[in-house]
């Protein structure tokens, strides 16, 4: 885990449910806040504004090196420090700042607009480019290599489990066939064309035929669900009593993990009995927020 260095372009990302995050986090009067998915820094900046003047600290983490490069090129509040690393490494970031615990923890699990706009990353299937899908392009293997390294049954299982795609077997079979024909899937368009052929177009045309497959491969390549599960299990160990955790998820797999983690651990007091959704006005202004769900829990104070 490294602190940020370098240069990068200005962020175009719009944070999701910003007023809701501020409301639920501000209520616990935090002094130390961890923003585990810093992205464009929108949530962090709003939360910094709510800290007492000259007091408190916000620690940001992000796996994407482009975020670290951008942060270093910007002037920002001295109470903000951003580290390159997964939100799972929040305890290490706190230790680096000589802090034992945090009062609040924020996770926005969605892709940022900056990542979608980067053609070299492959997150958007509307423009062609390398099929990478890694949050951190300097670690792990790109999705194209992941596909080349796995058997048909493993690819089908991943697409079905992580994308809830009913036609996962067809897609996996077509991917493997291309490899056998020495035309392996290497680009976004390669995979999009397979999905177009294998997934019947829905009547309402709301969902692109490649949506679920790209989601599945991104989750697999970045080990997203395992990291989320481990982080939520460990978070009560470093969030202070009375502190809060707020998690924004964007699909049912993530939301289920958050819901179960809050429900099954006695150290959490659930504050949102049902997930909160963005307002109609926000969805109109930022359509990417439409599938967001926010859950909030409070760390139960330890008893002697």
Residue positions in the annotated binding site for S-adenosyl-L-methionine? Answer: 41-43, 62, 87, 108, 115
Q: What's the rounded Cα separation, in Å, for the pair 248 and 255?
A: 8
Tokens representing 95 are 């230790």
Sole residue written with tokens 């809701």? 20
Distances (CA, A) of 300 to 87, 129, 239, 294: 21, 47, 10, 19
Q: Using CA atoms of 212, 216, 217, 218 in order, give the dihedral in degrees to the nearest 10.
A: 100
Which residues contribute to the annotated binding site? 41-43, 62, 87, 108, 115
- Sign of the CA dihedral with 37 first, then 38, 39, and 41 last: positive
Exposure string over 61-85, b if 16+ CB within 10 A, otherwise e:
bbbbbbbbbbbeeeebeebbbbbbb
If you compute the radius of gyration of the chain from its CA atoms, what whole number of angstroms results? 20
Token pair of 76 as six digits? 């920002």
């Amino acid at each position: 885990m490294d602190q940020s260095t370098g240069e990068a372009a200005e962020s175009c990302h719009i944070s999701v449910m910003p007023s809701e995050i501020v409301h639920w986090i501000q209520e616990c009067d935090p002094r130390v806040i961890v923003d585990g998915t810093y992205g464009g820094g929108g949530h962090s900046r709003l939360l910094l504004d709510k800290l007492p003047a000259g007091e408190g600290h916000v620690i940001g983490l992000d796996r994407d090196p482009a975020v670290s490069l951008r942060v270093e090129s910007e002037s920002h509040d001295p109470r903000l420090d951003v580290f390159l690393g997964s939100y799972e490494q929040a305890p290490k970031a706190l230790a680096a700042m000589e802090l034992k615990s945090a009062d609040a923890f924020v996770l926005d699990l969605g892709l940022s607009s900056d990542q979608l706009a980067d053609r070299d990353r492959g997150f958007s299937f509307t423009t062609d480019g390398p099929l990478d899908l890694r949050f951190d392009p300097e670690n792990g293997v790109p999705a194209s290599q992941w596909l080349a390294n796995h058997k048909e049954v493993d690819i089908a299982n991943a697409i079905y489990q992580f994308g809830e795609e009913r036609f996962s077997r067809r897609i996996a079979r077509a991917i493997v066939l291309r490899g056998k024909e020495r035309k392996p899937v290497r680009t976004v368009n390669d995979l999009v064309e397979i999905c177009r052929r294998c997934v019947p177009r829905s009547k309402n045309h709301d969902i692109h035929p490649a949506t679920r497959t790209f989601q599945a491969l991104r989750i697999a390549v970045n080990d997203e669900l395992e990291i989320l599960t481990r982080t939520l299990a460990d978070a009560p160990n470093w969030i202070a009593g009375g502190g809060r955790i707020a998690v924004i998820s964007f699909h049912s797999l993530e939301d289920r993990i958050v819901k179960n983690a809050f429900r099954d651990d006695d150290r959490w007091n659930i504050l949102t009995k049902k997930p909160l959704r963005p307002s109609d006005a926000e969805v109109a202004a930022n359509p990417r927020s439409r599938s967001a769900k926010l859950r909030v829990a409070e760390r139960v104070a330890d008893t002697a």
